[in-house]
Amino acid sequence: MKKLNFSAFIVSVYFWFSLFFISALLFPINLLTWLFTFPFDKRLIVLHRFTCLWSKTILFINPYWRTKISGKERLDPKRTYIIVSNHQSGADILVLFNLFIHFKWVAKNSLFSIPFLGWNMTLNRYIAITRSRGRSRLMMMDKAAAAIREGNSVMIFPEGTRSRDGNLQPFKTGAFKLAIATKCDILPVAIKGTFHAIKKGGFMIHKNHDIHAVILDPVHCETYEGLRPEALAGKVHDLILAELNTP
């Protein structure tokens, strides 16, 4: 039987307690932000920005992870993107919110029922998907396309779920079908270090990890014209893989 690391257990309790305590404190402010801004902020830009600050606060109170973002100069704030990233752990979305760019996040339906965190996702009109239901995937695609037409970027994890071993898994084609259908630029992001910080299905938070998110060059729609979704998925997969393999 594996011996419990008491220090790691205390760190983990601190992290999860802080996450939900801060979320409970911030959600009422989040709700008021929504109430006062939704009449004139139809895309919920202000609310999403507050959510980014919420995420930054959660990372800030965890002194055991050092988070770095590179490549922000590659972003054009006037453009709309389909943002795709590798998915190693539950910490990935916290890191992606720290990009401080506006997007609608495609997330599994069960997350929306989590107190405070899920309620905030609902207020932001993030896009729910039930992976086992084909109809849900079609509804997700319709909602994501509508969000892009409104001028929102859309964030999708193309692996479909978190990696069990930390290695990059094959990409599903949904994000790339969406890109082709909407003629939208793709923004690849490579996240390093989150798998060892907190593993899939795990409670334990691991200390002293460097987390690095690298924004890669956008894949502009004119450069993938004529490609099938499978080929486009493979191209973007290779770009992210190359960055993950860079020391």
Would you say residue 1 lies in a domain?
A: no
Q: Is the dihedral of CA 6, 11, 16, 17 positive or negative?
A: positive
The count of domains in the chain is 1
pLDDT digits (tens, 9 = 90+) for 127-174: 999 866 667 788 999 999 999 999 999 999 999 989 888 899 999 999
Query: Using 50, 70 and 90 to split pLDDT, how confident is the model at 247?
Result: confident
For residue 115, being part of any structural domain is answered with yes
How many helices and strands (H and E) does the chain possess? 8, 7
CATH number at residue 21: 3.40.1130.10
Q: How confident is the model at residue 175 (pLDDT cuts 50, 70, 90)?
A: very high
Determine, yes or no, domain membership for 41. Answer: yes
pLDDT of residue 116: 95
Q: Which two tokens stand for residue 109?
A: 């339906």
44-80 pLDDT, tens per residue? 999 999 999 999 999 888 888 889 999 999 999 889 9
- What's the domain range around 180? 6-244
Confidence (pTM): 0.92
Residue 155 inside a domain? The answer is yes
Radius of gyration of the chain (CA): 18
Residue 11 has what pLDDT? 79
Report helix, strand or coil for 34.
Answer: helix
φ/ψ (deg, to 5) at 87: -135, 105
